Amino acid sequence: MPWAISDWQDAGKEPVLRALIEDIGSGDITTNACIPADLRGEARFVAKQEMTLAGGELLTILFSDVTLLKFSGDRIGPGDVLATVRADARTLLTRERVSLNFLQRLSGIATLAAKFVEAVDGTGVKILDTRKTTPGLRLLEKMAAAAGGATNHRIGLFDAILIKNNHIQLAGGVRNAIERAKSLGQPIEVEVRSRLEIEDALDCGAARLLLDNMTPEQAALEVEFIAHRAQTEISGGVTLANVRAYAEAKPDFISSGAITHSATAVDINCGITSV
């Protein structure tokens, strides 16, 4: 498992609390009207499809009596029980949808990430996630991507230098942007779109070149030209359908925003019975 239960708990506390407040508001009027306050229940979270699980550890934030049977990063089949939870029936019902929203969304990301990783198997290329995440859920979504086997790129704007096209435009060129960024004393990654920009970036000592919006054929030519003088990353327009073709260009990394912004939620059922 790429992240420990405590990591999920730390990252999930604030988002889970916000989600509960959003959903419950002043109270679950249907549950409170229909269900006796002293009724106890058990919830079983069951997979309805093949998936890679992510976020089940968040159930330990929502409930106090949780038995986790599967963990983030596990490959799951239809019918597999992911976790069981015991609590008063009102709590189970009131927190059911929030639980499923996190599990289904995060497992959808992990499942898609695993498909990207599988698609480039044997090439030596690492799949990276991006900052194209749901606002307020970035760390959880990146943890889900890691559960699927992807490598986390920078978490935000604060933890790595990545000079992109608009930086280059406003700084007056690749050389100006890199020379100014050198004052931070950190490795520099720079987005490049032409052979001239590649040459400038290499001359200035960039550690990684991001080959942006190139065809697989163009990318292969540029990776060959760079010849390991810097790490190479391919990005822009990368999908599950074409990622293998990009991997065969032999970069070090391929990043795809689709892993987080286009993941489809998986199908997980929560059945609740009285005990």
Mean pLDDT over 127-149 rounds to 97
Distance CA(258)–CA(133), nearest Å, equals 10
**Range(s) within the chain of domains with CATH label 3.20.20.70:** 118-261
Please tell me the class of the 118-261 domain: alpha beta
Residue 209 · residue 230 · CB < 8 Å: yes
Statement: residue 89 has pLDDT above 70: yes
Mean pLDDT over 125-143 rounds to 97
Share of the chain above pLDDT 70, in %: 99
Beta bridge partners of 274: 41
Q: What pLDDT, in 10s, does the model give residues 112-131?
A: 999 999 999 999 999 999 99
Q: What pLDDT, in 10s, does the model give residues 5-62?
A: 899 999 999 999 999 999 999 999 999 999 999 999 999 999 999 999 999 999 999 9
At residue 241, the pLDDT reads 96
Catalytic residues: 97, 132, 164, 191, 212
At residue 3, the pLDDT reads 77
Pick from 42, 45, 43, 41: nearest CA to 81? 45
Complete DSSP assignment for 60-120: HHH-SEEEE-S-TT-EE-TT-EEEEEEEEHHHHHHHHHHHHHHHHHHHHHHHHHHHHHHHT
Mean pLDDT over 181-200 rounds to 97
Q: What is the dotted CATH code of the domain comprising 5-116+263-274? A: 3.90.1170.20
**Range(s) within the chain of domains with CATH label 3.90.1170.20:** 5-116+263-274
